[in-house]
């Protein structure tokens, strides 16, 4: 992706914080708050996600979120409650995954080699990690690099860590490809209720979901939510056949360490509020705006 796409995230995050604090101000007020002229602000948004200032502000609003909530449930498979908990495919030809029990690395009797590295993304710097079976970790930097690496070591204490930033950058390019003018034109022509059924920006990578059977079931359900659509926490619990246990579902969501690829950012509150996110609410809203372009 162009370097500017990643570098713009800090500006985008500041803009989102301003819009959340001043939801009734017109879109042109954002540029002034950022200390940018309107032309420069338009270029930033165009380079980051082919968004206009007006579209950007609209996608951050609760009315937009509630509209998306109303459109999603009927699109999901009726068999969601019986989704497989060992292996699956979220989108034909695009994203495949397999499950790994939390105890498997220890049971194997030897260290798993875990490649890992830093890469820039449209949502800031990220740490990616992978085994020979697929990508197992994608975490965005919220504080410093030491915290990122510390979390990875905590989650994989017996793994043999092998640093490979070049491969991490290659994976990031597959997961977050550049937005070409033709792609943007197609998106602009799509009706407001349409869905990008291919979800091609997830790059066709293979994932390793390391968690309990219940956690994997919840994560696999998340991967069935099409790009551009949203679910509430209660809607997801209901679709999973657990309408009285949204907190249990929420705990599984909070344990997700495959940011963006397992799209917990597509879950929001029923009133349209974005809710909490492991890597910050501004980043969550940025992802939703980026996917709306």
Residues annotated catalytic, as ranges: 264
Q: Calculate the alpha carbon distances from 54 to 29, 31, 125, 168, 178 in Å.
A: 11, 12, 27, 34, 22
CA proximity to 53, closest of 10, 19, 91, 99:
19
**3-class SS of residue 104:** helix
The tokens for 116 are: 């890992």
Phi, psi for residue 164 in degrees, rounded to 5: -150, 80
Beta strands in the chain (DSSP E): 87-91, 95-100, 113-121, 124-131, 134-140, 160-163, 206-210, 231-232, 267-268
Answer yes or no: are the C-beta atoms of 128 and 171 closer than 8 Å: yes
SS3 content of the chain, % helix, strand, coil (to 5): 45, 20, 35
């Amino acid at each position: 992706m162009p370097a500017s796409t990643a570098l713009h995230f800090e500006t985008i995050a500041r803009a989102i914080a301003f819009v959340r604090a001043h939801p009734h101000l017109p879109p042109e007020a954002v540029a002034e708050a950022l200390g940018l002229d309107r032309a420069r602000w338009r270029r930033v948004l165009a380079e980051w996600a082919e968004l206009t200032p007006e579209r950007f502000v609209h996608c951050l609003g609760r009315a937009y979120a509630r509209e998306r909530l109303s459109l999603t449930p009927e699109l999901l498979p009726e068999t969601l409650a019986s989704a497989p908990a060992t292996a699956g495919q979220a989108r034909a030809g695009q994203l495949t995954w397999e499950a790994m029990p939390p105890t498997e690395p220890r049971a194997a009797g030897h260290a798993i080699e875990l490649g890992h590295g830093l890469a820039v993304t449209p949502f800031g710097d990220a740490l990616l990690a992978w085994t020979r079976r697929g990508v197992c970790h994608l975490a965005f930097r919220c504080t410093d690099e030491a915290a990122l690496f510390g979390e990875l070591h905590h989650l994989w204490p017996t793994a043999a860590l092998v640093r490979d930033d070049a491969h991490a950058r290659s994976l990031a390019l597959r997961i977050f490809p550049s937005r070409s003018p033709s792609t943007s034109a197609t998106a602009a022509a799509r009706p407001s209720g349409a869905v990008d059924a291919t979800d091609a920006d997830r790059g066709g990578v293979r994932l390793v979901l390391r968690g309990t059977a219940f956690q994997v079931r919840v994560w696999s359900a998340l991967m069935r939510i099409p790009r551009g659509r949203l679910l509430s926490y209660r809607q997801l619990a209901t679709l999973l056949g657990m309408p009285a246990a949204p907190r249990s579902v929420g705990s599984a969501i909070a344990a997700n360490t495959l940011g963006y690829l397992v799209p917990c950012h597509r879950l929001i509150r029923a009133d349209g509020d974005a809710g909490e996110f492991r890597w910050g609410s501004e980043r969550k809203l940025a992802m939703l705006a980026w996917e709306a372009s």
